[in-house]
Amino acid sequence: MKAIVFTKYGTPDVLELKEIDKPIPKEDEVLVKVYAVSINDWDIGLLQGGDIINRLINGLFKPKIQILGSDIAGRIEAVGKNVKKFQPGDEVYGDLSGSWGGFAEYVCALENKLTLKPAGMSFEEAASIPQAAMLAIQGLLDKGQIQSGQKLLINGAGGGVGTFAIQIAKLFGVEVTGVDSLEKLAMMRSMGYDHVINYKHVDFTKNGQRYDLILDVKTNRSVFDYTRALNRNGIYVIVGGSLVRLLQALFLGPWISIISKKKICFVALKSNKDLESMNELFEAGKVKPIIDGHYQIDEVPKAMRLFSEGTHKGKVVITVENNNKH
Protein backbone atom coordinates (compact mmCIF):
# COMPACT_ATOMS: atom_id res chain seq x y z
CA MET A 1 0.00 0.00 0.00
CA LYS A 2 0.98 3.66 -0.35
CA ALA A 3 1.87 5.55 2.83
CA ILE A 4 3.48 8.85 3.80
CA VAL A 5 6.43 7.89 5.99
CA PHE A 6 9.00 9.84 8.03
CA THR A 7 12.12 8.39 9.63
CA LYS A 8 13.62 11.57 11.08
CA TYR A 9 12.17 14.69 12.67
CA GLY A 10 11.98 17.80 10.51
CA THR A 11 9.86 19.90 8.17
CA PRO A 12 7.31 18.37 5.74
CA ASP A 13 10.29 17.89 3.37
CA VAL A 14 11.29 14.76 5.36
CA LEU A 15 7.99 13.05 4.48
CA GLU A 16 8.26 10.39 1.77
CA LEU A 17 5.61 8.55 -0.25
CA LYS A 18 6.51 4.85 0.01
CA GLU A 19 5.12 1.42 -0.92
CA ILE A 20 4.93 -0.63 2.28
CA ASP A 21 3.16 -3.79 3.47
CA LYS A 22 -0.53 -3.57 4.27
CA PRO A 23 -1.01 -3.86 8.06
CA ILE A 24 -2.68 -6.93 9.58
CA PRO A 25 -5.30 -6.32 12.30
CA LYS A 26 -4.78 -7.86 15.75
CA GLU A 27 -7.62 -9.77 17.42
CA ASP A 28 -9.18 -6.61 18.87
CA GLU A 29 -8.55 -4.40 15.82
CA VAL A 30 -10.19 -3.65 12.50
CA LEU A 31 -8.47 -2.99 9.18
CA VAL A 32 -9.79 0.20 7.59
CA LYS A 33 -9.40 1.18 3.94
CA VAL A 34 -8.78 4.89 4.34
CA TYR A 35 -10.78 7.19 2.06
CA ALA A 36 -9.94 10.50 3.73
CA VAL A 37 -7.74 11.86 6.52
CA SER A 38 -7.38 15.36 7.96
CA ILE A 39 -4.37 17.21 9.34
CA ASN A 40 -4.12 18.32 12.94
CA ASP A 41 -1.70 20.49 14.86
CA TRP A 42 -0.53 17.32 16.63
CA ASP A 43 0.71 15.83 13.31
CA ILE A 44 2.89 18.90 12.84
CA GLY A 45 4.22 18.71 16.41
CA LEU A 46 5.12 15.01 16.04
CA LEU A 47 6.71 15.59 12.63
CA GLN A 48 8.90 18.41 13.89
CA GLY A 49 9.70 16.78 17.22
CA GLY A 50 10.20 20.39 18.24
CA ASP A 51 9.28 20.11 21.89
CA ILE A 52 10.06 17.66 24.63
CA ILE A 53 6.44 16.52 24.99
CA ASN A 54 6.26 15.30 21.39
CA ARG A 55 9.71 13.66 21.72
CA LEU A 56 8.62 11.85 24.87
CA ILE A 57 5.53 10.59 23.05
CA ASN A 58 7.30 9.48 19.88
CA GLY A 59 11.00 8.91 20.57
CA LEU A 60 13.77 11.14 21.84
CA PHE A 61 16.09 10.98 18.82
CA LYS A 62 14.01 9.51 16.01
CA PRO A 63 10.29 8.83 15.55
CA LYS A 64 8.96 5.46 16.70
CA ILE A 65 5.66 5.92 14.89
CA GLN A 66 6.56 6.72 11.31
CA ILE A 67 3.14 7.21 9.74
CA LEU A 68 1.21 10.20 11.08
CA GLY A 69 -2.46 11.06 10.58
CA SER A 70 -5.09 10.49 13.24
CA ASP A 71 -8.47 11.67 11.96
CA ILE A 72 -9.55 9.13 9.39
CA ALA A 73 -12.67 8.02 7.58
CA GLY A 74 -12.98 4.85 5.57
CA ARG A 75 -14.53 1.45 5.08
CA ILE A 76 -13.82 -1.60 7.22
CA GLU A 77 -12.12 -4.28 5.20
CA ALA A 78 -11.40 -6.93 7.86
CA VAL A 79 -12.05 -7.46 11.56
CA GLY A 80 -10.07 -9.27 14.27
CA LYS A 81 -11.80 -12.21 15.95
CA ASN A 82 -12.64 -10.30 19.16
CA VAL A 83 -14.24 -7.34 17.38
CA LYS A 84 -17.95 -7.02 18.17
CA LYS A 85 -19.04 -3.58 17.04
CA PHE A 86 -18.21 -3.65 13.33
CA GLN A 87 -18.17 -5.86 10.28
CA PRO A 88 -16.51 -5.64 6.88
CA GLY A 89 -18.16 -3.01 4.69
CA ASP A 90 -19.06 -0.64 7.56
CA GLU A 91 -18.25 3.02 6.90
CA VAL A 92 -16.53 4.50 9.93
CA TYR A 93 -14.53 7.45 11.18
CA GLY A 94 -12.60 8.46 14.27
CA ASP A 95 -9.49 9.86 15.93
CA LEU A 96 -6.64 7.33 16.06
CA SER A 97 -4.24 9.55 18.02
CA GLY A 98 -1.94 7.39 20.08
CA SER A 99 -1.47 4.86 17.29
CA TRP A 100 -1.77 7.22 14.26
CA GLY A 101 -1.07 5.69 10.82
CA GLY A 102 -3.80 7.52 8.87
CA PHE A 103 -1.61 8.94 6.06
CA ALA A 104 -1.84 5.60 4.28
CA GLU A 105 -4.22 3.55 2.16
CA TYR A 106 -4.95 1.18 5.06
CA VAL A 107 -4.72 1.47 8.84
CA CYS A 108 -5.48 -0.81 11.79
CA ALA A 109 -7.50 0.57 14.69
CA LEU A 110 -9.08 -0.53 17.96
CA GLU A 111 -12.84 -0.71 17.50
CA ASN A 112 -13.50 1.77 20.34
CA LYS A 113 -11.73 4.49 18.36
CA LEU A 114 -14.28 4.36 15.56
CA THR A 115 -17.92 5.32 15.05
CA LEU A 116 -20.27 4.54 12.18
CA LYS A 117 -20.40 7.33 9.61
CA PRO A 118 -23.87 8.58 8.66
CA ALA A 119 -24.71 7.71 5.05
CA GLY A 120 -25.16 11.35 4.04
CA MET A 121 -21.78 12.44 5.38
CA SER A 122 -18.90 12.31 2.88
CA PHE A 123 -15.67 10.62 3.90
CA GLU A 124 -13.93 14.01 3.70
CA GLU A 125 -16.51 15.58 6.03
CA ALA A 126 -16.15 12.67 8.44
CA ALA A 127 -12.35 12.91 8.47
CA SER A 128 -12.54 16.61 9.30
CA ILE A 129 -14.58 16.07 12.46
CA PRO A 130 -12.84 14.04 15.20
CA GLN A 131 -10.27 16.24 16.97
CA ALA A 132 -11.49 19.69 15.95
CA ALA A 133 -15.18 19.12 16.65
CA MET A 134 -14.47 17.28 19.94
CA LEU A 135 -12.30 20.20 21.12
CA ALA A 136 -15.06 22.65 20.13
CA ILE A 137 -17.82 20.70 21.91
CA GLN A 138 -15.79 19.88 25.01
CA GLY A 139 -14.46 23.46 25.19
CA LEU A 140 -17.83 25.18 24.81
CA LEU A 141 -20.12 22.77 26.66
CA ASP A 142 -18.11 20.69 29.16
CA LYS A 143 -15.66 23.39 30.24
CA GLY A 144 -17.30 26.63 29.09
CA GLN A 145 -20.85 25.75 30.23
CA ILE A 146 -22.16 27.90 27.38
CA GLN A 147 -25.56 29.49 27.97
CA SER A 148 -27.98 31.39 25.79
CA GLY A 149 -27.64 35.15 25.75
CA GLN A 150 -23.91 35.09 26.50
CA LYS A 151 -21.18 37.00 24.70
CA LEU A 152 -18.58 34.54 23.41
CA LEU A 153 -15.19 35.22 21.82
CA ILE A 154 -13.33 32.56 19.83
CA ASN A 155 -9.61 33.23 19.35
CA GLY A 156 -8.21 31.43 16.29
CA ALA A 157 -11.71 31.41 14.89
CA GLY A 158 -11.19 30.46 11.23
CA GLY A 159 -9.33 27.16 11.62
CA GLY A 160 -10.51 23.65 12.43
CA VAL A 161 -11.81 24.15 15.96
CA GLY A 162 -13.19 27.66 15.32
CA THR A 163 -15.29 26.68 12.31
CA PHE A 164 -16.99 23.93 14.32
CA ALA A 165 -17.23 26.07 17.45
CA ILE A 166 -19.14 28.91 15.74
CA GLN A 167 -21.78 26.50 14.42
CA ILE A 168 -22.22 24.80 17.80
CA ALA A 169 -22.25 28.11 19.69
CA LYS A 170 -24.96 29.55 17.44
CA LEU A 171 -27.29 26.71 18.46
CA PHE A 172 -27.24 28.26 21.95
CA GLY A 173 -28.24 31.74 20.80
CA VAL A 174 -25.04 33.51 21.82
CA GLU A 175 -23.39 36.59 20.33
CA VAL A 176 -20.06 35.49 18.89
CA THR A 177 -16.91 37.44 18.10
CA GLY A 178 -14.21 35.68 16.07
CA VAL A 179 -10.52 36.61 16.02
CA ASP A 180 -8.26 35.53 13.17
CA SER A 181 -6.25 36.92 10.24
CA LEU A 182 -7.72 39.28 7.62
CA GLU A 183 -7.92 36.58 4.90
CA LYS A 184 -10.40 34.54 6.95
CA LEU A 185 -12.75 37.28 8.15
CA ALA A 186 -15.15 37.19 5.15
CA MET A 187 -15.55 33.40 5.48
CA MET A 188 -16.09 33.81 9.23
CA ARG A 189 -18.82 36.45 8.70
CA SER A 190 -20.55 34.13 6.22
CA MET A 191 -20.52 31.39 8.86
CA GLY A 192 -22.42 33.51 11.35
CA TYR A 193 -19.80 35.33 13.45
CA ASP A 194 -21.53 38.52 14.64
CA HIS A 195 -18.24 40.43 14.94
CA VAL A 196 -14.81 39.67 13.51
CA ILE A 197 -11.42 41.00 14.56
CA ASN A 198 -8.12 40.88 12.66
CA TYR A 199 -5.63 39.94 15.37
CA LYS A 200 -2.81 41.57 13.43
CA HIS A 201 -4.49 44.99 13.85
CA VAL A 202 -6.54 44.81 17.02
CA ASP A 203 -5.72 43.28 20.41
CA PHE A 204 -9.12 42.09 21.67
CA THR A 205 -7.86 42.09 25.26
CA LYS A 206 -7.23 45.84 25.06
CA ASN A 207 -10.18 47.23 23.10
CA GLY A 208 -12.52 47.62 26.07
CA GLN A 209 -14.92 44.78 25.16
CA ARG A 210 -15.79 42.11 27.75
CA TYR A 211 -17.00 38.55 27.18
CA ASP A 212 -18.75 35.89 29.29
CA LEU A 213 -16.82 33.09 27.64
CA ILE A 214 -13.54 32.98 25.68
CA LEU A 215 -12.53 29.86 23.76
CA ASP A 216 -8.84 30.09 22.82
CA VAL A 217 -7.06 27.78 20.39
CA LYS A 218 -4.02 30.08 20.18
CA THR A 219 -3.23 31.12 23.77
CA ASN A 220 -0.33 33.49 23.28
CA ARG A 221 -0.87 36.28 25.79
CA SER A 222 -0.54 36.64 29.51
CA VAL A 223 -3.37 35.07 31.50
CA PHE A 224 -3.97 38.53 33.03
CA ASP A 225 -4.75 39.94 29.56
CA TYR A 226 -7.36 37.26 28.99
CA THR A 227 -9.02 37.69 32.37
CA ARG A 228 -9.20 41.44 31.76
CA ALA A 229 -11.37 40.70 28.72
CA LEU A 230 -13.82 38.60 30.80
CA ASN A 231 -16.99 39.78 32.50
CA ARG A 232 -17.48 38.99 36.19
CA ASN A 233 -18.01 35.20 36.54
CA GLY A 234 -16.66 34.81 33.01
CA ILE A 235 -14.85 31.65 31.88
CA TYR A 236 -11.63 31.47 29.87
CA VAL A 237 -11.26 28.08 28.16
CA ILE A 238 -7.84 27.11 26.84
CA VAL A 239 -7.76 24.62 23.96
CA GLY A 240 -4.14 25.08 22.90
CA GLY A 241 -1.33 27.55 22.36
CA SER A 242 2.18 28.46 23.49
CA LEU A 243 3.59 26.09 26.12
CA VAL A 244 4.93 28.97 28.22
CA ARG A 245 1.53 30.68 28.26
CA LEU A 246 -0.24 27.41 29.07
CA LEU A 247 2.10 26.81 32.01
CA GLN A 248 1.53 30.36 33.24
CA ALA A 249 -2.24 29.86 33.12
CA LEU A 250 -1.91 26.48 34.84
CA PHE A 251 -0.01 27.92 37.81
CA LEU A 252 -1.74 31.28 38.13
CA GLY A 253 -5.24 30.21 37.10
CA PRO A 254 -6.38 28.87 40.50
CA TRP A 255 -5.22 32.06 42.26
CA ILE A 256 -6.89 34.31 39.71
CA SER A 257 -10.13 32.34 40.11
CA ILE A 258 -10.11 32.86 43.88
CA ILE A 259 -9.38 36.58 43.68
CA SER A 260 -11.46 37.61 40.67
CA LYS A 261 -14.43 35.15 40.44
CA LYS A 262 -13.33 34.45 36.87
CA LYS A 263 -12.58 30.87 35.88
CA ILE A 264 -9.67 29.52 33.83
CA CYS A 265 -10.17 26.02 32.39
CA PHE A 266 -8.18 23.67 30.18
CA VAL A 267 -9.64 21.25 27.67
CA ALA A 268 -8.03 17.80 27.92
CA LEU A 269 -9.28 16.19 24.73
CA LYS A 270 -11.46 13.14 25.28
CA SER A 271 -10.98 11.57 21.88
CA ASN A 272 -14.12 10.50 20.02
CA LYS A 273 -16.36 11.10 23.08
CA ASP A 274 -18.96 13.21 21.27
CA LEU A 275 -18.92 11.71 17.77
CA GLU A 276 -22.48 10.39 18.16
CA SER A 277 -23.66 13.91 19.02
CA MET A 278 -21.84 15.22 15.96
CA ASN A 279 -23.61 12.61 13.82
CA GLU A 280 -26.95 13.90 15.14
CA LEU A 281 -26.04 17.54 14.53
CA PHE A 282 -24.82 16.71 11.03
CA GLU A 283 -27.91 14.71 10.11
CA ALA A 284 -30.15 17.49 11.43
CA GLY A 285 -28.30 19.93 9.14
CA LYS A 286 -27.05 21.94 12.10
CA VAL A 287 -23.31 21.49 11.57
CA LYS A 288 -21.47 21.30 8.25
CA PRO A 289 -17.67 20.90 8.20
CA ILE A 290 -15.63 23.56 6.36
CA ILE A 291 -13.04 21.80 4.25
CA ASP A 292 -9.83 23.17 2.74
CA GLY A 293 -8.58 20.80 0.06
CA HIS A 294 -9.06 18.21 -1.23
CA TYR A 295 -5.42 17.17 -1.47
CA GLN A 296 -4.23 13.79 -2.74
CA ILE A 297 -2.08 11.42 -0.69
CA ASP A 298 1.14 12.43 -2.48
CA GLU A 299 0.33 16.04 -1.54
CA VAL A 300 0.48 15.43 2.23
CA PRO A 301 3.83 17.33 2.51
CA LYS A 302 2.34 20.31 0.64
CA ALA A 303 -0.84 20.20 2.74
CA MET A 304 1.16 20.03 5.97
CA ARG A 305 3.25 23.00 4.82
CA LEU A 306 0.07 25.01 4.17
CA PHE A 307 -1.32 23.97 7.55
CA SER A 308 1.90 25.05 9.32
CA GLU A 309 1.74 28.44 7.60
CA GLY A 310 -1.83 28.84 8.88
CA THR A 311 -3.28 29.92 5.52
CA HIS A 312 -5.98 27.22 5.53
CA LYS A 313 -9.66 27.83 6.26
CA GLY A 314 -11.44 25.19 8.35
CA LYS A 315 -9.96 21.69 8.12
CA VAL A 316 -7.25 20.56 5.68
CA VAL A 317 -8.37 17.21 4.25
CA ILE A 318 -6.54 14.62 2.16
CA THR A 319 -8.60 12.42 -0.17
CA VAL A 320 -6.74 9.12 -0.03
CA GLU A 321 -9.14 7.37 -2.39
CA ASN A 322 -11.99 8.92 -4.30
CA ASN A 323 -15.34 7.42 -3.55
CA ASN A 324 -18.07 8.60 -5.86
CA LYS A 325 -20.87 7.38 -3.64
CA HIS A 326 -19.73 9.80 -0.93
Ligand X SMILES: NC(=O)c1ccc[n+]([C@@H]2O[C@H](COP(=O)([O-])OP(=O)(O)OC[C@H]3O[C@@H](n4cnc5c(N)ncnc54)[C@H](OP(=O)(O)O)[C@@H]3O)[C@@H](O)[C@H]2O)c1
Which positions lie near ligand X, rule CB under 6 A? 41-42, 131-132, 135, 155-156, 158-162, 179-181, 184, 199, 217-218, 220, 239-241, 267-269, 310-311
* Minimum CB–partner distance for residue 160 and ligand X (Å): 3
The residue among 24 and 53 lying less far from ligand X, judged by its C-beta, is 53
230-266: string of b/e by CB count within 10 Å (b at 16+)?
beeebbbbbbbbeeebbebbeeebeebbeebebbbbb
The residue among 83 and 217 lying less far from ligand X, judged by its C-beta, is 217
The residue among 225 and 321 lying less far from ligand X, judged by its C-beta, is 225
For residue 282, CA distances in Å to 48, 195, 263, 269 come to 34, 25, 31, 21
* Minimum CB–partner distance for residue 161 and ligand X (Å): 3
The residue among 38 and 227 lying less far from ligand X, judged by its C-beta, is 38
* Minimum CB–partner distance for residue 139 and ligand X (Å): 8
- Say how far apart CA 323 and CA 104 lie, in whole Å: 16
- Say how far apart CA 180 and CA 157 lie, in whole Å: 6
The residue among 41 and 274 lying less far from ligand X, judged by its C-beta, is 41
Choose among 266, 37, 284: nearest CA to 168.
284
Determine contact, residues 211/231, Cβ cutoff 8 Å.
yes
* Minimum CB–partner distance for residue 180 and ligand X (Å): 5
* Minimum CB–partner distance for residue 20 and ligand X (Å): 27
Choose among 299, 315, 298: nearest CA to 307.
315
The residue among 79 and 318 lying less far from ligand X, judged by its C-beta, is 318
User: Exposure of 81 by Cβ count < 10 A (0-12 exposed, 13-18 middle, 19+ buried)?
Assistant: exposed
H or E stretch covering 319? strand 315-319
Closest-CB residue for ligand X? 159
* Minimum CB–partner distance for residue 223 and ligand X (Å): 15
Q: How far apart are the first and last CA of the chain?
A: 22
* Minimum CB–partner distance for residue 156 and ligand X (Å): 3
Determine contact, residues 136/160, Cβ cutoff 8 Å.
no
The residue among 83 and 133 lying less far from ligand X, judged by its C-beta, is 133
The residue among 9 and 226 lying less far from ligand X, judged by its C-beta, is 226
* Minimum CB–partner distance for residue 165 and ligand X (Å): 8
How is the beta sheet containing 263-266 ordered, strand by strand? 195-198, 175-180, 151-155, 211-216, 230-238, 263-266
Cα 294 → chain centroid: 17
